[in-house]
Structure 1
Amino acid sequence: MTNHKLKLITTEDGSHSLLREDLNETYHSFHGARSESAYVFIEQCLRYYAEQTKKGRIRIFEVGFGTGLNAFLAAALAEENKVALEFHSVEPFPVVREIFEQLNFGQTPEEQQLLHRLHESPWESPQSITSHFSLVKHETTLEGFSAASDFDMIFFDAFAPSKQAEVWELANLKKCFDLLQPGGILTTYCAQGQFKRNLAAAGFEVQTLKGAMGKKEMVRGVRN
């Protein structure tokens, strides 16, 4: 698919993000890309779920592979805690090599190699990235994705509703609900009122949590 013009930026915690210039929208918070992802998707979703369930194998679905930061942090947690993670992610506009090679998420050469492996991984094909982390990237939209409905969690990391309202519509949230196992959770940085109403209408129990850096609130949805 066509790649949109992207500009590399540095956020307040020193980690990189990207600015998609046609939308005038960044991939992460200006207050800290790595800090935001670690809080919203790792601490309030993956680590929370793993500690609650004690599962040894977890299936994750991500809306928006983007810079690969969420997958990178999840892979690191999988190795640290010896938890098997199967990670599926959709991305209609993959980041090209000349961009992803500049991203500074890895703090050691080994971590940078991990980030590059995630981006270099073939599309539409399951890949073992580390001993505890496997990845399937799907070059499509949420609307175009289809898979078995037994995910444990969803990282909902689409662009903001003000930029891509269609992604946050009720039909897509119902699809996410159906993709989850009972007890599964969805998390996102967004706490917009209409989004929370749509999430509830899709069947989720809506939990409003303290937000990441610079944001008052975030949301976790639970499929009971």
Structure 2
Amino acid sequence: MSKAKGERESSTTKMGTLLHTYNHMPCTTFNRVFAIIYTCAILTLIYHHFLTLIHHSTTLISVITTTSLLISDLILAFMWATTTSFRLRPILRQVYPENLEKVLDKNDFPAIDIFICTADPYKEPPINVVNTALSLMAYDYPPEKISVYVSDDGGSELTLFAFMEAAKFAEIWLPFCRDNNIMDRCPEAYFNSNNHGKLDELEIEEIKVTTSK
């Protein structure tokens, strides 16, 4: 029983290593030493407030003032403690999504729903929203398991028209990304870079014409 459990844990660890690795950041030791010193300082300050409240607060005003300082320092100490817990073991993580198929079969990939929210076509140009949607749709992921939703809170006809045109362009762009393993899946980033060597001039012109229609 324990042997089987050990084998399962070893298999899980191996799969995890295929997908990601992590290293402790150099500031870990400094953060922990600082946390100890700061904790001692907070305890000393609170102890001082208690002594002041018990032995030196003789008037109502001094009692209220000392109590207020004590409560405020307790609140600040709690806020510091809740944020410091994330700094005691900082790590640098590297992920390897290309190894996902070594761990799971594509049929076992979970379904993903992605929501894109936009409201004002002037503050959020539709071309930027369209580029975001197209880059998400071009993910190296089973197409039947990924759904991209656009929520236009402004109900703009301009945004609707932009996505109608983007749907035509997607018929060319998405297969091209998957067939050529394109990493810059955002059309704007791709065409502004020098990474489109795989496209011949005819294909580039065809995509540009489709976009401009």
Do these two structures clear the TM 0.5 threshold for a shared fold by scoring above it? no
Rg larger for: 2
Structure with bigger helix share is: 2
TM-score for both structures, normalised by structure 1: 0.23
Q: TM-score, normalised by structure 2?
A: 0.24
